[in-house]
Amino acid sequence: MSIFKGAAVAIVTPFKDNREINFPKLAEILDDQIAHHTDAIVICGTTGESSTLTHEEHLEAIRFTIDHVAGRVPVIAGTGSNCTDTAIYLSQEAEKYGADALLIVTPYYNKATQKGLIAHYTAIANSVKLPIIMYNVPSRTGCNILPETAATLVKEVENIVGIKEATGNISQVAKLMNLTDGKIELYSGNDDQIVPLLSLGGLGVISVLSNVAPQQTHDIVAKFMEGDVEGSRDLQLKAIPLVDQLFCEVNPIPVKAAMNMMGWEVGSLRMPLTDMEPEHQEKLKKAMIDFGIEVK
């Protein structure tokens, strides 16, 4: 049984004015996401600014989310690190809290070899019983999980079951699905490529767009799964201008700006990320309005 099918939100971490985590606001956002049919919650991913959370904050955000969601949808904890021992520690703690699965990004900065990636993921997987989704995003990490490597891990390590693919390379994804006979839980990591990856056997998306358009992102996947490929494609194409603006500066700068425009008051970002440029904000606002999102 797959971890989830549909649209998972890579949820932002709301901050107070003093940059502490705003847990009451996080609770509101979680409830709204579930009310708009988001299929799973990913907490402490890239969009959640996990790289600037302390270990204590990271784990508290995971624990809080699991407790607040209370089984309504799966909660997937981002517990990756460029230090294997740290990733093991975070993963074991998330398992104790009751996470449904783990999202493990490739080790950034170190630029591990493919042999190193196999050793890294295997060590983490052997330390827990939870299912693991590998996160392949070379544009941020400088490290690419090649199809052969991903296929080896899925075939040889029982609880490594899926991959969030954010390479943007459709040919690489197709090769991966061929090498695994489609027996890998494939999730798009790019909001502009949901339908293409679904067409290759994907189960859904782990989405930034879902933060501001949860129902529409869910519907892109749901329509495809129901056989309404044309309806799914139309929604995907309609979302492209907004997706472009959500990534016109590095994620999560634009999505936090968008949520603040919607009145969510998620706060600013932790340095080294800084607030969105005013000219980009105007373009983002227009794209949101054109997509039917109410701004305040």
Selecting among 135, 187, 223, 256, the annotated active-site residue is 135
187 an active-site residue? no
CA distances from 57 to 29, 50, 104, 190 (A): 18, 9, 18, 27
- Burial label, 237 (beta-carbon count in 10 A; 0-12, 13-18, 19+): exposed
Active site residue 135: yes
Rounded to whole angstroms, the Cα distance separating 50 from 43 reads 9
Alpha carbon distances (Å) from 7 to 23, 55, 84, 157, 259: 23, 27, 28, 25, 18
Annotate 108-126 with b (16+ C-beta within 10 A) or e (fewer): beeebeeebbbebbbebbe
State the catalytic residue, choosing from 16, 25, 89, 164: 164
Alpha-carbon distances of 222 from 31, 91, 130, rounded to whole Å: 20, 30, 26
Q: Which amino acid is located at 44 in the chain?
A: C
Active site (catalytic) residues? 135, 164
